[in-house]
Amino acid sequence: MRRLGLLSLLALGCFPALAMADVAIPLLTVEPAANGGSNYSVSLQILMLMTLLSILPAALITMTSFTRVLVVLAILRQALGTAQTPSNQILLGLALFLSLFIMSPVLEDAYQNGLKPYMEETIGFDEALEKAKKPFREFMLNQTREADLVMFAELGGYDGFIDDNDIPMKVLLPSFLTSELKTAFQIGFLIFIPFLVIDLVVASVLMSMGMMMLSPMLISLPFKIMLFVLIDGWSLIVGTLAASFVT
């Protein structure tokens, strides 16, 4: 009797599943649009949106000013010789919000021309994606060196591009990142020089006084911090980084 009861429960549990199996739910559908594009179902749009959200950290690093800002701040901390002060979390937070400030015109343009019309259902998904991508392409092209573009175009087997719009993202993204790293190290070199001079002066004084066992970094650190505070270093560095993206 117990076995019969279990079989009955299993049968009752299977009937709804069987009934639901006969109902076709169009989760992923693509329909041709009037303008020659495609209209995606809501489920497919949500899937694309979740995919975009998953690659958002990579997009933040590769398509914005975040890389340059973070590298310069890391070199600044190394030049000061303050070890883990400011901490990594503080540097990341400063780089993130400074990047939002620098990228605000680009984000506003992408929202007004791409995301907002799409949310109001006045344009399709493909058109919204293209319009939202356009200001980011312009930003990256303005910050990318021509030599880097030529190098990656040759590596990708491209003979050349007639227009900037012909440059594919797979060529533009590595070119932009390479240019950002080069610019960040150039700025970092200029930041490092005055602190290096202080280290050399302190080391020379200690050597002349016969204090060879005393670490020069221990003596030079207060002087470097004092110099950085006197010249209002944080405002100078942050302002210079923001101004370096103005074209």
Reported as a single tens digit per residue, the pLDDT across 44-74 is 656 666 776 777 777 778 888 899 999 999 9
56, 199 contact by CB (below 8 A):
no
CA–CA separation, 111 vs 105, rounded Å?
10
243 burial (CB, 10 Å; 0-12 / 13-18 / 19+) is exposed
Two tokens, residue 23:
């109902």
Q: Is the pLDDT of residue 191 over 50?
A: yes
Reported as a single tens digit per residue, the pLDDT across 137-160 is 888 888 888 888 888 888 888 777
Reported as a single tens digit per residue, the pLDDT across 2-30 is 443 433 433 334 434 434 444 444 444 55
Q: Is the pLDDT of residue 1 over 60?
A: no
Q: Is the pLDDT of residue 31 over 60?
A: no
**Tokens 């993204």 found at:** 173
Two tokens, residue 245:
């993206």
User: What ranges in the chain are assigned the alpha helix state H?
Assistant: 2-21, 42-54, 56-62, 66-80, 88-110, 116-119, 125-143, 146-155, 169-208, 216-230, 233-243
